[in-house]
Chain A
Amino acid sequence: MTTKTALIVDDEVHIRRVLEVKLKNKGMQVMMAKNGQEALDLIQENRPDVVITDINMPIMDGKTLCILTNPLKKEKTFLTIVVTARIDPQDNIWIQELQDTILLEKPFSPMEILHIIQSYRGEPN
């Protein structure tokens, strides 16, 4: 198996670090971004296999990021996991419109995220 790349997008350092360590321990390569803009640049340049993103962030929020990167999935798809602490029923609606994009609520289980990534890639847990 070739090493898979994940991009973690969150303005909160503790969230980034927890996911970073979790994914690195599973042998994944990890990139990190503090907002949607940084993430967009990294996605365009590196095409990660998984993007885990927050919604509420400065400069560019996660929703904009997801909508801007969705067309890239036509070429080669990747998984986007949107993790949010905000309560907004609308989030379910726009996320359903996007390809390979799922929503998780905070507090989330890092292990569950790992399982989701693994089952998306068709690996046993």
Chain B
Amino acid sequence: MELTELQDFLTNLTPISHLHYQVWDLNGQMLYPDPDQHAEDPAFTQAIRGLSATVLKENRYHHDLFAGRHFMSGYPLTNGKGPFGALIAYKVASRPQAAEASDDPCIWRQTMEMEKFLGSLAKLLQDSWEAREEVNDLAEELDQSFEDLFLYGKIASQIKTLKFSSSMLEGLINSLLINLRADAAFAIFPDKPQYNTLVAQQHLNTRYRNHMEFYQKLIDSIPAEVLTAEDKYYIVNRSSSNPTYGPLSPTEYRFLTVRIEHEEGFYGWLGLVSFNMNEIFRQGELQLLVSLAEQLSVVIANTNLYHDLELFIINMVKSLVFAIEAKDVYTRGHSERVSRFSMQMGKKLGLTGKELDALRWASILHDIGKIGIPESILNKPGSLTDEEYEVIKDHPAKGFEILKPVEQLGYSLPGILHHHERFDGKGYPSRLAGEQIPLAARIIAVADTFDAISSTRSYRSAKSYYKALAIVKEVAGSQLDPEIVTVFTQIIDETGYLLEEVSYAN
């Protein structure tokens, strides 16, 4: 009970009404004024306690005289459930001598008025308390809504990141647990147990080998009819009154779980467990949990879609590479090797994320345009005519044309189109020079040149890696970007590529 403001009111009322006021509760405790500061005769206080008990017991107005001269009266304070306190008004007789009740007309004639007055005052106090309590209840309700709203906002921003991951899931479940005042929150994915996530306030069940086991059992025990009916959620309000759920834990608990599912299918369960049996899972919590599960399912579906797409591209690229190599017997493994060298250089040059991805696709597909070149030219032993050479020179542009419709590979096209440009500007197809040439193309050019020299071609046999590296260094600055050649040389040194080759050659 919030008394401060009302205490001031009663205190101020005392000098005008010539009455003292007290408030007693059901346990016979004085709530007002502060008993420590109250200096009335203990016997008088005892008498007032008695009057208060009668008022509370009979739930109506009473009055009496203490020591035959001090007037005291009491009125019950009630709420919807009955009396919760007694409002007492008393008057300390000024005359030292005991007075006959009838001698004090001021009091006895006004008994009726006193009852009315005290009744009104009690009503005022009650209303004020009630209003105060209602405000507090509303504030507490609102407090929870604030938390819910905050959680929605937080989740929405987490969902925006779109990519599903263990850490994203853990963050989400953590905020769920904090905001919904449960003891544990978890997500269980029957088909992808590596993503199972649990956030718990404390370790409560020692019966299980690991903490997750208990929560797994909760999910495993969901009745078959719930599963077949595809209910959105399942709730156990009181484990002790459920024959399946009761035995799972020595401590009583309640449990709420919702399905994480999407048009694509069922992914798993999102759940809450609480050991606090004084509270219940509210509708609002269920709604929040359901909407969180929906959001989560969208993220999972998107992520699956993303992975599917990525896998599709990888497979497509593999089959394209296979197609080039099937045509040109000499280039078997070439694309793979050029890609490996290029990626090593790219990482050393500090490329990250999308740039590195672009380099990966560009390097493995750099010769894709050869698909459009007749095998007779590709595999021709000896030197090519000028005409034939022109056809060969067309392969970067052809590769560009072939892959242009594949939107997802768009960012890797410059690396393919320009991998035969020369640093001095004498290359093809665009005669770009120096830094005008896209970085990916300059990297691929180095790897491509090295691998072409060091592997057998239709027109000549393989040169040793030593010679190949020497030639690459020679053309640094004219054909190739000297800085990238330096990086390439470092990689060859570091990986011991040449040493391996020496022992292999001897």
Contact = CB atoms under 8 A, between A and B. Distances in A.
Contacts, number: 35
Contacts of A58: none
Interface string A104-120: 00011111100000000
A109 B147 contact: yes
Contacts of B147: 109-111
B146 A108 contact: yes
Nearest to B147: A109
**Chain B interface size range:** 10 to 19
Contact of B150 (A17, A20, A21, A109): A109
B474 interface: no
Contact of A18 (B146, B153, B179): B146
B220 to A, nearest CB: 33
B65 to A, nearest CB: 41
A20 B140 CA distance: 10
A74 interface: no
Interface string B136-161: 10111011001101110100000000
A47 interface: no
A16 to B, nearest CB: 9
A112 B135 CA distance: 22
A76 interface: no
Contact of A110 (B136, B146, B151): B146
A14 interface: yes
A21 B144 CA distance: 12
A22 B143 contact: yes
B288 interface: no
B136 A112 contact: no
B143 A21 contact: yes
Contacts of A110: 143, 146-147
A14 B142 contact: yes
A124 to B, nearest CB: 14
A21 B138 CA distance: 10
Interface string A89-115: 000000000000000000111111000
Interface in A1-59: 14, 17-18, 20-22
A14 to B, nearest CB: 6
A63 B178 CA distance: 31
A107 B179 CA distance: 13
Contact of B139 (A21, A107, A112): A21
Contacts of B138: 17
A85 to B, nearest CB: 12
Given A17-B135, A21-B136, A111 B179 contact: yes
B135 A107 contact: no
Contact of B142 (A18, A108, A109, A112): A18
Nearest to B137: A21
Interface in B164-190: 178-179
Contacts of B153: 107
B156 to A, nearest CB: 11
Contact of A107 (B136, B140, B150, B178): B150
Contacts of A112: 150
B139 A20 contact: yes
A17 B146 contact: no
A20 B178 CA distance: 21
B259 to A, nearest CB: 27
Interface string A77-94: 000000000000000000
A107 B136 CA distance: 20
Contacts of B149: 107
Nearest to B146: A110
Contacts of B136: 21
Residue from the set B136, B143, B178, B179 with the largest chain A CB neighbour count within 10 Å? B143
Contacts of A18: 139, 142-143, 146
Contacts of B143: 18, 21-22, 110
Contacts of B151: 109
Given A109-B146, A110-B146, A21 B140 contact: yes
Nearest to B140: A21
Residue from the set B142, B147, B150, B179 with the largest chain A CB neighbour count within 10 Å? B150
Contact of A109 (B135, B139, B140, B179): B179
A18 to B, nearest CB: 5
A21 B139 CA distance: 7
Nearest to B151: A109
Nearest to B2: A24
Interface of A: 14, 17-18, 20-22, 107-112
Given A17-B139, A21-B139, 17 more contacts: A14-B139, A17-B142, A18-B142, A20-B139, A21-B136, A21-B140, A22-B139, A22-B143, A107-B146, A107-B149, A107-B150, A109-B147, A109-B150, A110-B146, A110-B147, A111-B147, A111-B179
6 contacts: A14-B142, A21-B139, A21-B140, A108-B146, A109-B150, A110-B143
